[in-house]
Chains A and B, each alone.
Chain A
Amino acid sequence: MRLSVTGNHQPNFSVFNNTKQNVNLISMKGLNIIVLAKQVPDTRNVGKDAMKADGTVNRAALAAIFNPEDLNALEQALRLKDQFPGTTVTLLTMGPGRAAEIIREGLYRGADQGYLLTDRAFAGADTLATSYALACAIRKIKNFDLIISGRQAIDGDTAQVGPQVAEKLGIPQVTYAEEIISVTGKKIKIKRRLERGVEVVEGALPLVATINNSAPECRPRNAKLVMKYKHATTITERQDSSEDYINIFNDRPYLNIEEWSVNDIDTDVEALGLKGSPTKVKKIENIVFQAKEAKVLSDADNDIDELMKELINNHTLG
């Protein structure tokens, strides 16, 4: 990015007070932002219909959604796009073919393009092998000033992929970010939400920022963008779709969601998927609670009074 422009938080700044910056405004190119996103099972809403008779979870019954904090991340990217015309927001996701759904979801909200990394060779990857594959894809995308992702995905809750991508690319990271305050030339100011407070850090582009759920929610779908991108598909999806739409892809290249297999990116296959994962799952146990002896009460006055009396008498209360 060549332009020097400041964010909302420095309202006194004017691009007209300095000839050099004025010139830069004309040659402005905006930012190249990559948003890392993941399609996840909606583990937050494990309703009764998702529970099997034996008390375990029926994963197939869970909806696949855009990982919530990745939506917070997308919003931060879109705000920079609002601020710096010419900015390109690129979504990158790794997953099965149906993960193209979240790229479309991102396009509907204002992203410009998307890449789906999909291959059996990536399957079974832990965070390290995942971050390696993503870093290789990012190197192929090549032009980026900023990489933004959610802090963590709700299926694993590890918060590891963002920092590991940063390390693999050899660039700094700012985790637990709540707001990208400003971008001025190569400088970026970011507010972080810590356990007991906030911190503002200043770094240099390029870097990786991971966004907390305390950041603003993502804007909703835009009706015009839904119309524009509703036929956006990967090549695999098009092969499965009806003939009717095939021609529009020749006229409208923006409807192509780029799909990359392991052969499309430069990788060491040994470092991918299950093979490239230092962590192995030794054992998985479904949670089935062992009932203990409990007193079962109703909400009638008598029952509540008896309980409270007991708790007061045995000094649990008071």
Chain B
Amino acid sequence: MNNIFVYCETDNGTIADVSLELLTKGRKLANQLNCKLEALVIGHKLKGIESQLFPFGADVVHVADDPRLDPYTTLPHTSITVKLFQEEKPQIALMGASVIGRDLGPRVSSALQSGLTADCTSLEIGGHEDKRAGKVYENLLYQIRPAFGGNIVATIINPDNKPQMATVREGVMKKEIYSPTHKGELKQIDVKKYVDDADFIVKIIERHIEESKVNIKNSSIIVSGGYGVGSKDNFDLLFQLADVLGAEVGASRAAVDAGFASHDRQVGQTGVTVRPKLYIACGISGQIQHTAGMEESAMIISINNDPNAPINKIADFIITGDLNTVIPKMIKYYKQNTK
């Protein structure tokens, strides 16, 4: 009772990275709160799945295995999660801020009348005093996230409603094995008792999943462009530099919204979080929405017309100038001075 639950997504029998990242974070929170960490896996062909979860610190793994539960659809996964949470009364429930987690989370929170914070960039434990109500709370989950387009950072709490729910994007938390020998308990969910036929009213009739062609998350050098790049055509220059350096091209949300770059290149709170050894920010002003997803880069170069662009404050090198002048010079020097 009152443990921490992580809803775990699977992809062809493999637990998704975002879920393992949440288990890593969940384990730390559980140690701090002196409670157990429990994982919930819903899908099909899940035999042995617990062996992927125990090393990340799961004390209990709940498995709901049924052919109708894979691929994910909203209602059956909601029914199982809601009923299990009603029985187990977790104090904290975490989900990936993925297409699945952002579909399931709000549905579950609405059914349970519990609070949910989307796209958290940090989770901490702390107290709270409600002076007006004269109440003091201990060990609440601080759900920290940029808000208002990333211009402020808000700390959200759910003092009176449990579970305290939060979603976190892939890459925001670090994935670390807790102990290779850690073992927990496996609990099979009797699916028939948790779902009924009406839950299967929405059916998947076609599905095309492609391997992502863009892999900015694992790239050691990222050349990233913002709204200041000016156009889709100007982004070509970034691709040329990336090509020469063996880098990937990233983009800020403003650049993606403007149609300069595709969605899968978006770096930031509502995109991908990256930690490359070099991040070259071209025409990026540096709203927290963006910097939340790249500030841990080992080295940051900012190329910007505006010497006062906020991103310059986290940069190691600031080049004040036009990227259309600077980038060709970088390409030229690199080509001439490397083999």
User: B118's contact among A43, A55, A157, A308, by CB below 8 Å, is which?
Assistant: A157
A298 to B322, CA, bound (A): 10
Question: How many pairs, one residue from A and one from B, have CB atoms within 8 Å of each other in the complex?
Answer: 253
* Chain A positions within 8 Å of B15 at CB level: none
Taking beta carbons and an 8 Å cutoff, which residues of B are in contact with A?
Answer: 71, 73-75, 78, 98-99, 102-103, 105-107, 109-111, 113-119, 128, 142-143, 146-161, 201-212, 221, 245, 253-254, 257, 263-264, 269-270, 277-278, 286-288, 291, 299, 301, 307, 310, 312-322, 325-326, 329-330, 333-334, 337-338
- For A287, list chain B residues within 8 Å (CB): 146, 150-153, 287-288, 310
Given contacts A158-B119, A164-B109, A294-B317, 8 further A-B contacts (CB under 8 A): A41-B149, A163-B107, A175-B99, A204-B201, A282-B142, A296-B320, A297-B317, A308-B330
Residues of B within 8 A of A174 (CB): 74, 202
A299–B321 contact, CB under 8 A?
A: yes
In the complex, A131 Cα to B116 Cα: how many Å? 13
Assess A312 versus B338: contact at CB under 8 Å? Given A175-B103, A197-B210.
yes
Q: Contact: A284 with B152, CB < 8 Å? A: yes
A44 close to chain B: CB less than 8 A: yes
Closest 4 CB pairs of A and B: A43-B149, A299-B321, A278-B115, A289-B313
Q: Which of B74, B105, B116, B316 contacts A279 (CB 8 A)?
A: B116
Binding site for B on A (CB under 8 A): 41, 43-44, 46, 55-57, 59, 68, 126-128, 131, 154-164, 166-168, 172-176, 189, 192, 194-204, 207, 213-214, 277-287, 289-292, 294-299, 301, 303-305, 307-309, 311-312, 316-318
- The complex places the Cα of A283 from the Cα of B126 at a distance, in Å, of 12
Is A286 in contact with B152, judged by CB distance below 8 angstroms? Answer: yes
CA distance A85 to B322 in the complex (A): 53
Shortest distance in angstroms between B3's beta carbon and chain A's nearest beta carbon? Answer: 19
A308 with B333: in contact, given A284-B153, A294-B318, A317-B245 (CB under 8 Å)? Answer: yes
Contact call B151/A173, Cβ cutoff below 8 A: no
Nearest-CB residue, chain A, relative to B329 = A304
Identify 29 residue pairs between A and B in the complex whose beta-carbon atoms are under 8 Å apart, listed by A's number. A46-B287, A56-B151, A57-B148, A68-B257, A155-B149, A156-B118, A157-B269, A157-B270, A159-B102, A160-B105, A160-B106, A161-B106, A163-B105, A167-B107, A172-B202, A175-B102, A195-B99, A214-B263, A277-B115, A279-B156, A282-B128, A284-B152, A289-B313, A292-B314, A294-B315, A295-B317, A296-B307, A299-B320, A299-B329
Check if A279 sits within 8 Å of B157, measured CB to CB: yes
Bound Cα distance from A60 to B269, whole angstroms: 24
A168 contact from B110, B118, B146, B313, Cβ within 8 A: B110
> CB-nearest residue of chain A relative to B108?
A167
Which single member of A41, A201, A214 contacts B148 (CB below 8 Å)?
A41
Q: How far is the CA of A196 from the CA of B212 in the complex (A)?
A: 6
Q: Smallest CB-CB separation from A160: which chain B residue?
A: B106
By the criterion CB–CB under 8 Å, are A127 and B116 in contact? yes
Bound-state CA distance A34–B201 (Å) is 21
Complex CA distance for A308 and B269, rounded to whole angstroms: 30
> Chain A contacts of B73 at CB under 8 A?
201
| A278 in contact with B321 (CB, 8 Å) | no
Q: Which A residues lie within 8 Å of B211 (CB)? A: 196
Closest to A290 in B: B313
Q: Which residues of B contact A176 (CB under 8 A)?
A: 99, 103
Question: Which among A127, A194, A278, A297 has the greatest number of chain B C-beta atoms within 10 A?
Answer: A278
- With a cutoff of 8 Å between Cβ atoms, the chain A residues found around residue B277 in the complex are 316
Bound-state CA distance A304–B308 (Å) is 20
User: Contact at A316–B338, with CB atoms within 8 Å?
Assistant: no
Chain B residues with CB below 8 A from A316, complex form: 221, 277-278, 299
Question: Which residues of A are found within 8 Å of B105, using beta-carbon distances?
Answer: 160, 163
User: Is A312 a contact of B337 with CB atoms below 8 Å?
Assistant: yes
Cβ–Cβ < 8 Å partners of A167 in chain B: 78, 106-107, 110-111
A94 CA / B175 CA spacing, docked (Å): 40
Contacts of B128 in A (CB 8 A): 282
Say yes or no: A154 contacts B99, CB within 8 Å: no
Closest to B254 in A: A44
Q: Quick check: A280 and B156 within 8 Å, CB to CB?
A: yes
Chain A residues in 8 Å Cβ range of B263: 214
